[in-house]
Structure 1
Amino acid sequence: MTFTKLLREENNDIFEEIFTHPFVKGIGEGVVPSESIAHYIKADYEYLNAFMHVYGIAMAKSSKREDIEFFNEQVTFVLHSEVHPHHNFCEHIGMRYEELQGYPLPPTADHYIKHMIYHANQGSLGEIIAALLPCPWTYLEIGNTLMKQYQPTESHPFHPWISFYADGEIETLTNHLRSRLDSLAAEASESEQQKMKEAFRKSCQLEWLFWEMSLSCEEWPTAGVTAK
């Protein structure tokens, strides 16, 4: 069994919880509260900005030109392609994308970004990829799961969103990251592999929490809240 197959098996519990999360199911059913969609976009816009910064750190830690080229291409992908599902959500709730940019991060998104930045700065290239991989991997499987369960037509309000993540480009990205992580894990020590596993699982957990944060419109406690 490859390292990433093992990771998928060990974290199947979280993947299944993501597939059945009310926000994710709502995308398939075409019914998600507008305020939750807006909260998601506000946080995900900043999250993707951070994702590009982590790709930049990965480039700096790469010794192979092929890795540098790959991470550079992914920055371009996030900048110019991964905005499309955001536009689908924006059109559905009748808001311009620009209106939902530049907001402070809610607690979960803040934690997720700092988790990735920590592994990017402190970890190996394998650890960085392990922290990044759950994002495209869970979205790929979400897209495929929703496409299979709901078989959305072009009249479905979230057809562009579902189609984007069920598309071959996300699968290609996921498979490339998996292949590279498998190669790095094969050369890593047992302790380094454990760090990769921990980074991967926490990112999976934070993916689920990101959906929960969006649905509940999570905010920081107010200044008047005191610890008990």
Structure 2
Amino acid sequence: MPSFKDLTNACADEWYDYLQHDFVRQLGKGRLPEDAFRHYLQQDYLFLIHFARAWALAAYKSRSLSELRQATASLDTILNTELTLHIGYCAEWGISEDDLSELPESRATLAYTRYVLDCGQRGDLLDLHVALAPCLIGYGEIAEWLLDQDSTLIEDNPYADWIAMYSSDDFKAAMESEREWLDARLSEVSERRFGELVDVFRDATRLEIDFWQMGLDQD
């Protein structure tokens, strides 16, 4: 019976390149150029808006009350908690809400967000969750990996709050809940269907890699 771990194993090279991207390594060491982080923060705001749209689509795609509740709870969290926190965090980096409202989308943001929405529109709820998994589960794994590295700087690291955010108990709980949901659904799919989902997961992970690179290149 396949599981989320089998997805990451099937895309091991891409998953490694995403979790341990140079953007992540520099962030952990406190050496990431501040302009690169600001650019990432701004584009991540736009990504969160589309992330909310994806959960709205998940609500539409839901076939049970429990799935509908899960989707609407995630949508509410993004709209009323995460975006508010993100706007406040951006303000600490000198980026106002007016600045955020006028941002153009980078090509990496366009490609990634539209891919996720397309997966949800043409596929089913599982396709959509698999396309979202590199973000929700991946950020948690990245934070865990950073905390395990001797080279990661916490004290006097300007990005320590970012690491703390994605290693928090609340985020870990959300990550584990999503992993359990995926494990339950993946255990029921055929070999052929699992192969299709591997392709979705690999493409979404590659687009996450491009998102990190977009931050470094400030493209």
Do both proteins adopt the same fold according to a TM-score greater than 0.5, normalized to the shorter chain?
A: yes
Q: Take 2:185 and 2:191, find their aligned partners in 1: how far apart are those partners?
A: 12
Residue equivalent to 2:213: 212
Q: Cα deviation per residue 1:140-164 (whole Å; 9 max; x = unaligned)?
A: 01111222222514x4322221011
Residues 192-216 of structure 1 deviation map (CA, whole Å, 9 limit, x = unaligned): 3222211111111111110001110
Deviation at 1:85, TM superposition (A): 5.4
Alignment-derived partner of residue 221 in structure 1 = none
Question: Which amino acid in structure 2 is aligned with residue 50 of structure 1?
Answer: H
Contact 1:147–1:163, Cα closer than 8 Å, also in 2: no
Q: Name the counterpart of 1:169.
A: 170
Corresponding position: 1:18 with 2:51: no
Partner of 1:152: 154
Single out whichever of 156-165 and 208-217 deviates more from structure 2: 156-165
5+ residue gaps in structure 2? none
> What is the rounded CA distance, in whole Å, between the counterparts of 1:104 and 1:120 in structure 2?
24
Equivalent residue letter for 1:129: H
* SS of corresponding position for 1:81: helix
Give per-residue Cα distances to partners, 1:20-72, cap 9 Å, x unaligned. Answer: 32221222122322322222122211111111111111111111111111111
**Contact (CA 8 Å) 2:57, 2:120: kept in 1 or not?**
yes
Change in CA separation of 1:3 and 1:20 when aligned onto 2, cut-off 3 Å: closer
Residue matched to 1:108: 108
Task: Give the match for residue 226 of structure 1.
Answer: none
Structure-2 change in CA distance of 1:34 and 1:90 (3 Å): farther
State the match for 1:46 in structure 2: 46
- How far does residue 184 in structure 1 lie from its aligned partner after superposition? 2.2
Kindly state the Cα deviation for residue 86 of structure 1 after the two structures are TM-superposed. 6.0
Structure 1 position 171, deviation (Å)? 2.1
In the other structure, the counterpart of 1:81 is 81
Amino acid at match of 2:165: F
Unaligned 5+ segments in structure 1 are 219-228
Change beyond 3 A, Cα 1:45–1:100: same
- Which residue does 1:29 correspond to in 2? 29
Deviations 1:118-176 (A, max 9, x none): 111010111111101110111101111222222514x4322221011011222222222
Count of matched residue pairs: 216
Shift, 1:81, TM fit: 3.4
* TM-score for the superposition, normalised by structure 1: 0.85
Tell me the distance in 2 between the aligned counterparts of 1:80 and 1:66: 21
Query: What corresponds to 2:204 in structure 1?
Result: 203
Q: Which amino acid aligns with 1:32?
A: L
User: How far apart in 1 are the matches of 2:9 and 2:181?
Assistant: 18
Q: Given that residues 89 and 158 in structure 1 are in contact (C-alpha distance below 8 angstroms), is that contact kept between their aligned partners in structure 2?
A: no
Q: Could you tell which deviates more after superposition, 97-106 or 63-72?
A: 97-106
RMSD after superposition: 2.1
Contact 1:85-1:164 at 8 Å conserved across structures: no
* Seq. identity, %: 25
Partner secondary structure for residue 105 of structure 1: coil
**TM-score normalised by length of structure 2:** 0.88
3-state DSSP of counterpart to 1:187: coil
